[in-house]
Every structure is written in C-alpha cells, then in structure tokens.
Amino acid sequence: GAALCLFIGLWPAALYSILPFQDVDYVPYTAGHVLTSFQLLIFAILAFAVLVRTGIYPPEKRGINLDFDWIYRKALPALIRWIATRMGRVGERLSLLTEILAGRTYRLIYRLHGPEGVFARTWTTGAIAFWAVLGLFGFLLLYYWGR
C-alpha cells in the first residue's frame, strides 16, 4: 500500500494515463500547489500544538472505538455460533426422521419383495396380462385426458 502511494506520488503521470478523460491538463507539482499544501500542513500542526499546550485540546480517554471491524470480529462469529446451534438441533431431528423413514421404507420393500412378498411369488399369465392391460389403459387415459 505504501509503495503504491509513493509510486503515484512520485510519478502521477502513470495514474493519470489510466484514468478516463485524459484530455484534461492537470499538473500536481506546480509551485502554487506545493506551497498551498505545505501551508495547510504547517498551520494544522501549529493549531494542534497550540491546543495541546493551552489545554484546550481534550485529554485522551481510555475507551473502545467500535468500528466496522466489530461486525466481523464479534457480531458475525456470535451469529454463526447461534445459527450453528439451531442447525445442530435441526440436524439431529432430521437425522432421527431420516432414520425412521429409512426403516419404514426398508420394511415396506422387504414386505413386498422379500421371500414371502407379493412380488416374490409366481403369478399366473392371466394376472400378468390383466395388470399389463390395466397399465396401458391408465396410460391411454392420461394421454387423452391431457390433450
């Protein structure tokens, strides 16, 4: 950061060449600019020194300045911890729900496809033909009903 400031201060033409509206002629280091800036700096230092010497300048007080960094140092971690505890509880409940649903699904599949299940038995050709015709009829019903 400081090197960039020095570079721009010593060679301002490098900055001005990448800025828009390059047709504006501005020279920062003329005698008038340098003298005016120097006067502002000297009188600001003088005013500060006079205020401190006369006791008018307020004394320093110990305190904490709450700047924007407070948000990502204190508030954001607290918010993340709060959300994490809530999500942890939700995660536990979701895990329990998933466990229950998985067990029920497994039992249903075993009941239908297990050794004694409906789909494990041998079916007659007539029953298979009936279910095939019923499926095709349902498909035709949906096809023509959707038109």
Q: How far apart are the first and last CA of the chain?
A: 69
- CA–CA separation, 56 vs 123, rounded Å? 104
Indicate yes or no: pTM above 0.75.
no
Q: What are the residues whose beta carbons fall under 8 Å from the beta carbon of 113, sequence distance 6 or more?
A: 119, 120
Instruction: Report domain extents, the chain.
Output: 2-54, 71-145
Report pLDDT for 89: 85
Q: Which two tokens stand for residue 103?
A: 């067990």
| pLDDT at position 141 over 90 | yes
Helix (DSSP H) and strand (DSSP E) numbers for the chain: 6, 0
Angle 111-116-120 (CA atoms, 0-180°, nearest 5)?
90
In this prediction, residues 97-126 reach a mean pLDDT of 91
| pLDDT at position 46 over 80 | yes
Each residue's pLDDT tens digit, 3-30: 999 999 899 888 888 888 888 888 888 9
Report pLDDT for 121: 86
DSSP classification of residue 120: G
Report pLDDT for 147: 73
Each residue's pLDDT tens digit, 59-69: 888 887 778 88
